């Protein structure tokens, strides 16, 4: 299984006092999957890493770095690897904002299975088959069913 967590999943998930509890549970499950599933990969594009760095409260920054560098199953990517045609597909043809188009293009490029985002409404109406966009609660339900 290959997944991407959007910025808000890291920020809400690491903040154990946040009202959003599903992202925290997703991070807990990811830690288990990293240890127990040979085929699991968490994909982290630099656009999301940088956005987390800009927006995460200072007291959670260390937790973020410990998580993203905790395993070889967490793969880090430069956005320069994403073909411009894929970006154009989501920006020009699908009408996403620049950052959202970059993330969608990245998701397709790396052949992710799931893009987990509390902003999944951005991706919901894309009419695509390349990846599935779900929020944290939806991802937990997928795991429960599978």
Strands (E), the chain: 2-5, 41-45, 74-77, 114-116, 132-134
DSSP strand pairing (74-77 vs 2-5): unpaired
Please report, in tens digits, the pLDDT of each residue of the chain (146 residues total). 999 999 999 999 999 887 778 999 999 999 999 999 999 999 999 999 999 999 999 999 999 999 999 999 999 999 998 999 999 998 887 788 899 999 999 999 999 999 999 886 676 667 788 999 999 999 999 999 87
Q: For the domain made up of 2-145, give the CATH fold.
A: Rossmann fold (3.40.50)
Residue showing tokens 């073909």 = 83
- In this prediction the pTM is 0.92
Instruction: Give residue 61's region: left, alpha or beta (phi > 0; psi -120 to 50).
Output: alpha
DSSP annotation string for 52-64: HHHHS-HHHHHHH
Q: From CA 86, how far away is CA 80, in angstroms rounded?
A: 12
- Report the greatest alpha carbon distance in the chain: 41
């Amino acid at each position: 299984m290959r997944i991407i967590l959007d910025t808000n999943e890291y920020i809400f998930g690491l903040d154990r006092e946040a009202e959003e509890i599903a992202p925290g549970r997703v991070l807990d499950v990811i830690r288990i999957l990293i240890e127990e599933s040979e085929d699991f990969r968490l994909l982290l594009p630099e656009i999301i890493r940088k956005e987390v760095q800009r927006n995460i409260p200072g007291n959670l920054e260390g937790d973020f770095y410990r998580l993203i560098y905790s395993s070889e199953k967490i793969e880090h990517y430069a956005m320069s690897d994403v073909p411009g045609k894929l970006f154009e597909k989501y920006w020009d043809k699908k009408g996403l904002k620049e950052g959202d188009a970059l993330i969608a293009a990245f998701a397709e490029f790396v052949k992710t299975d799931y893009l987990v985002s509390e902003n999944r409404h951005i991706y919901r109406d894309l009419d695509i088959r390349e990846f599935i966009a779900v929020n944290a609660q939806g991802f937990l339900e997928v795991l429960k069913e599978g």
